[in-house]
Amino acid sequence: MTPKIQLIGVKKSFGSKVVLDGIDLVIAPRTSMVIIGGSGTGKSVTIKSILGIIRPDEGTILVDGVDITHINGAARDKLLKKFGMLFQGGALFDSLPVWENVAFGLIQGRGMKKKQARDIAIQKLAKVGLTADVAELYPVELSGGMQKRVGLARAIAADPEIIFFDEPTTGLDPIMADVINDLIVSTVKDVGATALSITHDMASARKISDHIAMLYGGKIIWTGPTAEIDHSGNPYVDQFIHGRADGPIKMAVKA
């Protein structure tokens, strides 16, 4: 079966700083992959490379078997319609009310009529546990957890084939984090999407993933089914998932 997303030898440097040093990753259709790794290891850069927001220096990125590494213009617009993304800080448009945020991709990206898009937005908000009266509020009036839910509703509004989650539980209390995890699992299943998430929250990673990949030193150093993460036999993975300060990964305490 053709992988939904495939990265082959993707490299990216910013100035003299090598962030991605040859990433190889395969994500099968309708599965959920989570990339774990410390802060600043290039997890976000990986997702932004697939979206084309960042252009990799080397390597190939395939979506549905098609090389999308250098596409532009109309082909790129078409490709972007396959994607949805939940941003770490929500990235909601603060000039627009909640429902227009959720309906944005439908109205602006796909030219849907406002009334119809609004009905869909209300449905999607209900899916993430928000009532219709939230729809008229502005993002600044919402709590962090509610902003995440609106962000999630926006990510799934256009029924994307692929959904990216950037640190979905960061900054939430443990209970709200678990609520969001549940929502991610159920919405991804509902839509029948392929999911790629990045996180350093292991509880979240275990819950929302079928497969886990660990990013360290610009490379994927381990990948496998979620159930096997505790028996990886990889000292880097062991140190990370148990959150130990001592081990092969040395944190640069001084910059």
Partner 1 sequence: MNVFAAIGRAVLTLLAEIGRLASFTGRSVAAIFSPPVYGRLIGQQMMSIGYFSLPVVGLTALCIGAVLALQIYLGGNRYGAEAIVPQIVVLGITRELGPVIAGLMVAGRVAAAIAAEIGTMKVTEQIDALTTLATNPIKYLVVPRLVAAVIVMPLLTVIGDTIGVYGGYLVATENLGFTGSTYLKNTVDFATHQDIVSGLIKAAVFGFIIALMGCYNGFNSRGGAQGVGNATTAAVVSSSILILAADFILTAMLFHTS
The CA distance from 240 to 14, in Å, is 25
Residues 215-234, mask of contacts with partner 1 (x by CB under 8 A): --------------------
Q: Rule CB under 8 A: choose which of 111, 115, 131, 253 binds partner 1.
A: 111
Among 93, 113, 227, 244, binds partner 1 (CB under 8 A): 93
Question: Does 108 help bind partner 1 (rule: CB under 8 A)?
Answer: yes
CA distances 76 to 11, 48, 111, Å, are 21, 14, 17
> How many helices, marked H, and strands, marked E, lie in the chain?
8, 10
Task: Specify the residue, 71 or 91, whose C-beta has the smaller distance to partner 1.
Answer: 91
Query: What are the C-alpha distances in Å from 240 to residues 26, 69, 78, 86, 226?
Result: 22, 31, 38, 24, 14
What's the per-residue H, E or C state across 2-51? Answer: CCCEEEEEEEEEECCEEEEEEEEEEECCCCEEEEECCCCCCHHHHHHHHH
Find out whether 178 and 148 touch, Cβ atoms under 8 Å.
Answer: no
Binding mask 62-91 toward partner 1 (x if CB under 8 A, else -) reads ---------------x--xx-xxx-xxx-x
Please answer whether residues 223 and 238 qualify as being in contact, where contact means their C-beta atoms are separated by less than 8 angstroms.
Answer: no
Question: Which of the stretches 1-9, 16-24, 108-116, 233-241 binds partner 1 when contact is defined by CB under 8 A?
Answer: 108-116
Coil vs helix vs strand at 52: coil
Binding residues for partner 1, rule CB under 8 A, total 27
Site string for partner 1, 12-51 (x = CB under 8 A): ------------------------------------x--x
Q: In the complex, what is the shortest distance from the CB of residue 239 to partner 1, in angstroms, rounded to a whole number?
A: 30
Smallest separation, CB 80 to partner 1 (Å): 5
Which C-beta is closer to partner 1: that of 80 or that of 185? 80
Q: Which of residues 135-174 bind partner 1 (CB under 8 A)?
A: 154-155, 158, 164
Q: Contact, 240 vs 61, CB < 8 A?
A: no
Is residue 124 a contact residue for partner 1 (CB under 8 A)? no
Can you tell me the distance from the alpha carbon of 176 to that of 215, in angstroms, rounded to the nearest whole number?
A: 26
Chain residues that interact with partner 1, rule: CB under 8 A: 48, 51-53, 77, 80-81, 83-85, 87-89, 91-94, 104-105, 108-111, 154-155, 158, 164
